[in-house]
């Protein structure tokens, strides 16, 4: 009988939060947001684990080296190899480490800047490699959205843009950002069973004054307070 990872929600008490972060510059505004968020969440009594993808030098490419034991050696089918590794527990060590964090977490925060109206390659690579068939979704049942293997967990994106808000509005030059992000919120996160919270957006991050930067940090902190109130 096929054995899939079982994801169990932890009810009551403080939250286990996995913070997946993708920005290459430790002195960036994004990094300041991340540091503030982790500090604030811990002060509230939550447990937080960080996956700083650039700091970890996380490998973004799904390839043959992801699997310690191959099902087929004459040709490479990533989907079938993921299924086999989920059953046998033969993913590479870096993938297993991230999967253990996901299993531990109640809430996943994906924090990244927009690159060409999408997520950076290193973040997409984390999803490609960690949200594997047999771990994040069960391809045999095919009730992906209703019975994704990460059901019971929540997720939120924290996103910064270079362009100002009007560029990402309906009729704007880039188009409505909510429509642009739907392939992530619905076709990725909801696909694996995650309950998706509204995205926290910061526009024009590369051109902010110090005052506005401080205001945006405060706004992000206030958003975190609504997600993880101290008096639960």
Q: Residue 174's closest CA among 188, 187, 159?
A: 159
More confident residue, 168 or 230: 168
Read off the pTM: 0.90
Q: Which positions ≥6 away from 70 have C-beta within 8 Å?
A: 64, 81, 84
Catalytic residues: 162, 168, 174
- Read off the DSSP letter of residue 91: B
pLDDT of residue 9: 38
pLDDT for residue 54? 98
* Domains (range + CATH), the chain: 16-227 (3.40.50.360)
Query: Mean pLDDT for the chain?
Result: 89
**Lowest-confidence pick of 10-19, 21-30, 49-58:** 10-19
* Cβ atoms < 10 Å from Cβ of 207: 10
* pLDDT tens readout for residues 31-68: 999 999 999 999 999 999 999 999 999 999 999 999 99
Q: Quick one: DSSP state of residue 191?
A: G
* pLDDT tens figures, 72-119: 888 999 999 999 999 999 999 999 999 999 999 999 999 999 999 899
Residue 3 has pLDDT above 60, yes or no: no
Q: Is the pLDDT of residue 4 over 50?
A: no
Work out the number of other CB atoms within 10 angstroms of the CB of residue 143. Answer: 11
What was the pLDDT predicted at 230? Answer: 56
Residue 110, strand partner residues: 20, 157
Write down the H helix ranges in the chain: 29-43, 53-56, 78-88, 93-104, 121-130, 144-147, 177-184, 210-227
pLDDT at 13 over 90: no
Alpha-carbon gap, residue 43 to 65, rounded angstroms: 39
- Above 60 in pLDDT, residue 11? no
Give the span between the Cα atoms of 18 and 192, in whole angstroms.
16
**Closest alpha carbon to 140 in 1, 33, 14, 21:** 1
Residue pLDDT, tens place only, 121-153: 999 999 999 999 999 998 877 677 888 999 999
What's the whole-number mean pLDDT along residues 188-216? 93
Residue 167's pLDDT is: 85
DSSP state of 188: I
* pLDDT tens for each residue of 159-171: 999 888 788 888 8
């Amino acid at each position: 009988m096929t054995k899939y990872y079982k994801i169990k929600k932890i009810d009551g008490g403080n939250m286990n939060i996995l913070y997946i972060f993708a920005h290459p510059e430790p002195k960036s505004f994004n990094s300041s947001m991340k540091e503030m968020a982790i500090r604030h969440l811990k002060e509230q009594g939550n447990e937080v684990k960080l996956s700083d993808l650039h700091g970890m030098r996380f490998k973004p490419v799904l390839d043959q080296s992801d699997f310690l034991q191959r099902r087929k050696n004459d040709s490479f089918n990533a989907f079938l190899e993921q299924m086999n590794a989920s059953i046998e527990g033969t993913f590479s060590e870096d993938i297993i480490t991230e999967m253990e964090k996901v299993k531990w977490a109640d809430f996943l925060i994906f924090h990244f800047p927009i690159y060409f109206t999408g997520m950076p390659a290193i973040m997409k690579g984390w999803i490609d490699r960690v949200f594997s068939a047999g771990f994040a979704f069960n391809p045999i049942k095919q009730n992906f959205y209703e019975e994704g293997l990460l059901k019971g967990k929540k997720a939120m994106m924290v996103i910064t843009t270079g362009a100002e808000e009007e560029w990402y509005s309906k009729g704007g030059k880039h188009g409505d950002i909510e429509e642009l992000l739907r392939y992530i919120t619905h076709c990725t996160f909801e696909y694996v069973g995650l309950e998706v919270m509204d995205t926290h957006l910061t526009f024009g991050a590369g051109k902010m004054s110090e005052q506005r930067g401080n205001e945006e940090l405060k706004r992000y902190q206030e958003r975190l307070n609504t997600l993880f109130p101290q008096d639960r």
